Structure 1
């Protein structure tokens, strides 16, 4: 009887814990889907004027319309595009009376990057979304300043090099006529949402756990004895 009671408590208790973890992941899934839906709605909203003092906590993903002169300098951030391969995000300064900012112009393949030359032209108006990407960590290589290759969009560091405010607008409108730079608009693809897989894993483990418990309970004492 003691053995039976132990198996019941251990088996059902373990199964209940695994099922509760699966339910928690389902709840987290609903929460994450709500967060993503809210961000997507914010990204696609009608553009507004750039705030006087943009703040990451308040203004991330905010769609804005900005007007200014694009500077001749540019930075290249190494990225990869599906079905295209390696390339660079092109970051240019935009000179404005209210203060210079940075524009993420979009993507250009590696083979076309060296031929890129920009001139300071007339004022242009661009539409994009404010973003402060969290792409750097302790393993991110330092930028190769000689080759003008960056390995992440470090807003603060790029702003110091381009002599702008630490404000980045990721362009979302169509590419300029004749330009090889294709916009890479802000989206939610990079936001992790693995809660469904986690829920399936926990529920699968609970099913296996309970099945094994049932097997042990059905075994007769001494069944393995010769």
Structure 2
């Protein structure tokens, strides 16, 4: 007489039978979720440190622009958003318009589509530096419509040091051949305008009373998304839910085994 069916039934009733692979998969998923949550907490600490660093920099007294010998050593961690000052003369004839949208959360009445006016600042004591003078709406992109703001003579610029804007899937690539600029790329802008030896950074000019009101300066966005705690709690919550489901399944399995044992 064959005993195969009894053996199979015994394996089904044996505690832990058939649970090894699901348990391993559940444990792996649990460890991954815990790892993701912990990584988000580490990102949270990094982001809070960044915010504190930026807050201190933007309210510090302006310092001279770093000299050219230090330019290769500039980093985002140490230098982005430093408040600096520099003197020179604007070369309005070689300004560049970088497309942008001034959102509803921006200060002041001027909003919507438009351009950031990036103008070379020519210096007697160093190479030129590109300055983001601020926003103009689309219907004022022509310098002739804002001639009052195209002043001559030496000026002092105070603003925030900004390194090249990182490429993004959401922002088109610059197209200098057709005059299309969509992100701040000082090297690309300088090359397109024939500006030799320009600094590898841009200065976002602070709020400045420009004759005629345009460009509208002081529009640097200092709002950084910080949802790392929310993400960490989500990953940890999923890990806890996974443990809960595993425990419920385990309890249900033992109850079935107990009922099977009493029915024999």
TM bin, normalised by shorter chain, reads 0.7 to 0.9
Taking the aligned partners of 1:11 and 1:143, their CA distance within structure 2 comes to 50
**Cα distance in 2 for residues equivalent to 1:45 and 1:187:** 17
CA RMSD of aligned residues (A): 3.0
C-alpha offsets along residues 97-145 of structure 1, whole Å, 9 cap, x if unaligned?
A: 0222111001111122233446461211121011113233687334255
Gaps of 5+ in 2: 1-14, 105-110
Aligned to 2:239: 206
- In structure 2, the partner of 1:172 is 206
Q: Deviations 1:125-166 (Å, cap 9, x if unpaired)?
A: 1210111132336873342555x4311111101122151513
TM-superposed CA distance for 1:4, in Å, is 9.0
Bigger relative CO (Cα 8 Å, ≥ 6 apart):
1
Q: Which residue of 1 aligns with 2:41?
A: 26
Q: Does 1:163 align with 2:178?
A: no
The answer to whether the Cα contact below 8 Å between 1:92 and 1:103 also exists between their aligned partners in 2 is yes
The aligned runs of 1:75-90 (5 Å cut-off) are 75-83=96-104, 84-90=111-117
TM-score by length of 1: 0.82
- 1:143 alignment partner in structure 2: 175
For 1:41-190, list aligned pairs within 5 A: 41-53=56-68, 54-55=70-71, 56-57=74-75, 59-73=79-93, 74-83=95-104, 84-98=111-125, 99-114=127-142, 115-117=145-147, 119=150, 121-136=152-167, 140-146=172-178, 148-160=179-191, 161=193, 163-164=195-196, 165-166=198-199, 167-189=201-223
Matched-pair contact (CA < 8 Å) for 1:79–1:89: yes
Secondary structure of the 2:153 match is: coil
Please state whether the residue corresponding to 2:190 is helix, strand or coil: helix
Give the C-alpha shift of residue 20 in structure 1. Answer: 4.3
What SS does the corresponding residue of 2:246 show, helix, strand or coil? helix
Q: Which runs of 5+ in 1 are unaligned?
A: none
In structure 2, the CA distance between the partners of 1:135 and 1:12, relative to structure 1 (3 Å rule), is closer
Kindly indicate which of the two structures has a greater share of residues assigned to helix: 2
Structure 1 window deviating more from structure 2 (137-146 vs 207-216): it is 137-146
**Structure of higher CA gyration radius:** 2
- Residues 42-85 of structure 1 show CA distances to partners (whole Å, capped at 9, x for unaligned) of 22211011122152325332211111111122110001111222
The number of residue pairs the alignment matches comes to 222
Determine the C-alpha separation between the residues in 1 that align with 2:114 and 2:154: 27
The alignment partner of 2:130 has SS state of: strand
